[in-house]
Amino acid sequence: MRRRILAGALLPMVLVLAVAANLPAQQTVEPLQPRERVVAAYVPIMKFATLYVAASRGIFDKYGLDVEVQSVRSGTEIIAFLTQGQVDVGGIAMVASTWNAWARGMDLSIIAPGALEPIEGSPTKLLVRRDLADSGRVQSVADLRGRRLAMAGGPGSGGEYLAAKALERGDLTIRDVQALNIGNPDMPAAFAGGSIDAAILGSPFADQVLAAGDAVTLAEDLTPGAMTVAFVGSDRFVRERPEVARRFVLALMEAARMMQGDDYLSRENLRAYLAHINTTEEALRSGVPVIYDPNQEISLDGLRDVERVHRENGRTEYTRPLEPTRVTNTSFVEWARSVLGTY
């Protein structure tokens, strides 16, 4: 959006540039000396792309952080690594094992969001095999009763949460289908081979399946505006290394701001995405952009819904609601916004 600046206005050049870019002037944060090592684990999907951009474009390095990023198959694995002290931060879906760990007193804190589900046009969809749709055997979500529904992560996973939200539209629960645990990168081949009937799949893999003609969309916009993934820090990282955690979250927020609008598909960002997930540039360019809040707000309402679904699915070890404010630490995103300003 263009902004008019009056001739002769006595503004410092940095402020003029900030206004022209629709961004506030930011404070200077000195890099840590000596550099601090951080181990960050993630599930290789686009919802954690702020991590990829911060790592690949030198933002972590700018703040004195030596960040090692490790790819794993599921959020459940990351929780184990966090509790064992093998990693400092995990990019995970809000899985049932996380809520169970919190209920048992495990000290893991949500410190920043991953991508948000858009209000409409979400890249995460419920897909059904094309031959089932074309034959009329599956015309609505209710027709999935008894069928093979694939999701990444298995019981209590973020994929199961999304599957449960989709199934609610057909008055079904996760117990009404044959739930299959299949990794996101393996879904396109599973559809092509006919080994699954339907799947919960996000960007860019959903786009690949649809482009190949092996499936059609049965339901979409499953959780409008919800925060279904987040970055979680270990107790040692959050409480014993707060200056490191602040800079880590600051780098994520800066990355999110470098991914807005047309910049989402900048050459530098594309290189970052492709270095961390198994996809193609063509799929990224043709797919629906993933949404990253430039202010990195942590959605408590979204977390409450995730907790409710896992609990109602019988995946938690407790029966009374667990309030998300007990397990979030918003101080890091608040500090980062104080540095960068509100977008």
- Sheet containing strand 229-234, strands side by side: 65-71, 36-42, 89-93, 229-234, 108-113
- Is residue 71 within 8 Å of residue 92, measured between CB atoms? no
pLDDT of 281 = 95
DSSP 53-106: HHHHTTHHHHTTEEEEEEE-S-HHHHHHHHHTTS-SEEEEE--HHHHHHHHTT-
- Is residue 296 within 8 Å of residue 333, measured between CB atoms? yes
Distance CA 338, CA 166 (A): 38
pLDDT of 6 = 34
- Check for a shared fold between 32-116+226-340 and 125-220: yes
Distance CA 96, CA 157 (A): 6
**Residues recorded for the chain:** 343
Q: Which two tokens stand for residue 166?
A: 């989709």
Q: Which two tokens stand for residue 205?
A: 């893999």
Q: Which 8-state DSSP code applies to residue 116?
A: B
- Is residue 38 within 8 Å of residue 68, measured between CB atoms? yes
Candidates 80, 90, 85, 79; CA nearest to 48 is 90
Averaged pLDDT in 10-residue chunks for the chain of 343 residues: 34 35 66 97 93 98 97 85 93 85 89 89 91 97 98 85 95 96 94 97 89 96 87 94 98 98 97 94 87 93 90 95 95 97 96
Correct CATH for 125-220 of 2.60.40.10, 1.10.220.10, 3.40.190.10, 3.30.110.30: 3.40.190.10
pLDDT of 120 = 85
Distance CA 69, CA 92 (A): 13
- Is residue 7 within 8 Å of residue 74, measured between CB atoms? no
Candidates 234, 221, 152; CA nearest to 188 is 152
Distance CA 111, CA 116 (A): 15
| Domain coordinates in residue numbering, the chain | 32-116+226-340, 125-220
pLDDT of 121 = 83
Other C-beta atoms within 10 Å of 270: how many? 14
The top-level CATH class assigned to 32-116+226-340 is alpha beta
Distances (CA, A) of 216 to 121, 130, 194, 232: 15, 6, 14, 34
- Is residue 270 within 8 Å of residue 259, measured between CB atoms? no
- Is residue 49 within 8 Å of residue 204, measured between CB atoms? no
- Is residue 121 within 8 Å of residue 221, measured between CB atoms? yes
